[in-house]
Amino acid sequence: MKENNLTRGKVTGVIANLVMVDVDGPVSQNEICYINLEGVKLMAEVIKVFEKRAYIQVFESTRGLKVGTEVEFTKGMLEVTLGPGILSRNYDGLQHDLNKMDGVFLKRGDYTSALDDKKKWSFKPLAKKGDTVAAGDWLGEVNENEQPHKIMVPFKFEGRYKIKSVVSEGEYTVNDTIAVLTDQKDNEVPVTMVQKWPVKVPIKTYKNKPRPFKLLETGVRTMDTLNPIVEGGTGFIPGPFGSGKTVLQHAISKQAEADIVVVAACGERANEVVEIFAEFPEIEDPRTGRKLMERTTIIANTSNMPVAAREASVYTAMTIAEYYRAMGLKILLLADSTSRWAQALREMSNRMEELPGPDAFPMDLPAIISNFYSRAGFVYLNNGETGSITFIGTVSPAGGNLKEPVTESTKKAARCFYALSQQRADSKRYPAIDPIDSYSKYIEYPELQDYMKENISDTWVDNVMLVKNILIRGKEASEQINILGDDGVPISYHVDFWKSEVIDFIILQQDAFDPIDRSCPIPRQKYMLEKVLDVYDTSFEFESFEEVNPYFKRIINELKQMNYSEYESEQFKRHEKELYYIIDEKKSA
């Protein structure tokens, strides 16, 4: 691109981070531009054009900005840099490497590069001279933190190409040419390990996107057993403050059966991100024995960082996830919290004086949210391999009220709903996911049911449905007891209630801080589910209702000790044995 072709402009107005610019040439929606504020370049994005005036949102503080300041437009949209070396990095919302920035405080316009251009990667070719390739096809691979990182034909390439040459196995930096392709007109195009992609555009280099069907294990019982999420699925976690959203998201990011985890810390507390920074490099991934940080990338736009970049941060995270999905990997993408992203949209819409929708959010909020969620999914790549992005977002509903626009819009887009209940949180029943209000639409998918029958057990799905019923019956019994009094109901009501309490304490509740209990693999979940159903299937005899509570507390205690013991250890078996002694005490003949 020639310098003199670029559009330039001059600032004519400022309202917080919304800036009006009069331009001397064409500009496009979402085009990136830089404001030259006394030598510091501030990045901004076009969000509205009216005649010769562009409205831009600045990704930085606009303090000191004056009318007449020069603005340069770039012709490009907001792009991320994709290549080996993204893993283990901490980026801001615009993919600048936070660790490369100097000083304790963030400086305006301190834009650091996303990748390390000095590091040498050992490249192995996967394609050969003469092959016909298209965007997203694998040319070779490098080893990134023990993950096979595929070097692909850049996603922006249209049509078919022929490989003219590929370098041989060896050490290369990201900017070295590793292949030369020729297009249909025989023009030569060099390819390096780096490519750029606009974040607001989905990467669609896959063959097709079927309905997801594979269970994604998270190790969290109340999710996996009752309301499972699938590889390529979408879910969201709404909850009032203090209900354990962040602890739950951290648990999922630590334990989930994914190759790569991308965390978008979007407008939340900085100390929570610091916790990830401090812990992830220390904690081991039990599946690989390597540190969790090696499979993780963090996009941090904490609540005190510029608001406009907050909106960009979720897109940056999604695009990175899509890049890795195109390599045939399983990605888990977490965004905490999508409400902050929606609020960023609201602030801008408000400054542009658009007519507001409900609660002053922009009218197209539901569309924006569902478009974003639709970028997740399980895909078959062109070479037959599979990849997936599982997306879980948290929502922070104002006043804990689930009838607000962000929760409602998300409910339409996401297929799993994990409602955190204040009541459960208050009574310290963690994770506070309400078992009755929450749902997973995937559990009704015959594809997933077949998968679970084959991989867990024939009776699994029926058992899960049964458990849901027991919980509902327990809730009804408890309501009756509260209304009529302990001695105003038949003893069987107490038994029904306590049988559901067994499930609550043993399956639903889980100690995220206990080294053993915090992660529960599927075989163990299956085993424990069978134990609690054994209790359920037993008919007991009690003389009076007063016996019921202490008796079931003993049952719960033994089962709880099993949860706290190493699976199938001596200790585990001892408590199991004790459990059956207790069951036999009151078993009716």
Contact residues for another protein, defined by CB under 8 A: 12-16, 20, 61-68, 90, 98-99, 101, 103-108, 240-242, 267, 269-271, 273-275, 277-278, 300, 302-305, 307, 340, 343-344, 346-347, 350-351, 356, 359-361, 396, 398-401, 426, 485, 513
Q: Which is nearer to another protein, 195 or 339 (CB)?
A: 339
CA distance 575 to 426: 29
**Can you give the three-state secondary structure of 495-547, one letter per residue?**
HHHHHHHHHHHHHHCCCCCCCCCCCCCHHHHHHHHHHHHHHHHCCECCCCHHH
Task: Compute the least distance from the CB of residue 458 to another protein, in Å.
Answer: 39
Task: Compute the least distance from the CB of residue 18 to another protein, in Å.
Answer: 10
Q: Which is nearer to another protein, 396 or 421 (CB)?
A: 396
Q: Which is nearer to another protein, 42 or 178 (CB)?
A: 42
Q: Which is nearer to another protein, 330 or 346 (CB)?
A: 346
Task: Compute the least distance from the CB of residue 112 to another protein, in Å.
Answer: 11
CA distance 127 to 488: 76
Using the 8-state DSSP alphabet, how is residue 438 labeled?
-
Partners of residue 576 on adjacent β-strands:
none
Task: Compute the least distance from the CB of residue 144 to another protein, in Å.
Answer: 21
CA distance 303 to 267: 4
| Residue 103 dihedral angles phi and psi, to the nearest 5° | 80, 165
Q: Which is nearer to another protein, 241 or 581 (CB)?
A: 241
Task: Compute the least distance from the CB of residue 291 to another protein, in Å.
Answer: 17
Task: Compute the least distance from the CB of residue 470 to another protein, in Å.
Answer: 25
CB contact set of 583 (below 8 Å; sequence gap of 6+): 534, 535, 538, 555
CA-based nearest residue to 261, from 338, 331, 327: 331
Helices (H), 326-386: 338-351, 365-373
For β-strands 18-23 and 53-58, DSSP reports them as antiparallel
Q: Which is nearer to another protein, 38 or 158 (CB)?
A: 38
CB contact set of 435 (below 8 Å; sequence gap of 6+): 222, 226, 468, 471, 504, 508
Q: Which is nearer to another protein, 179 or 264 (CB)?
A: 264
Task: Compute the least distance from the CB of residue 33 to another protein, in Å.
Answer: 17
| Cβ(265)–Cβ(301) below 8 Å | yes
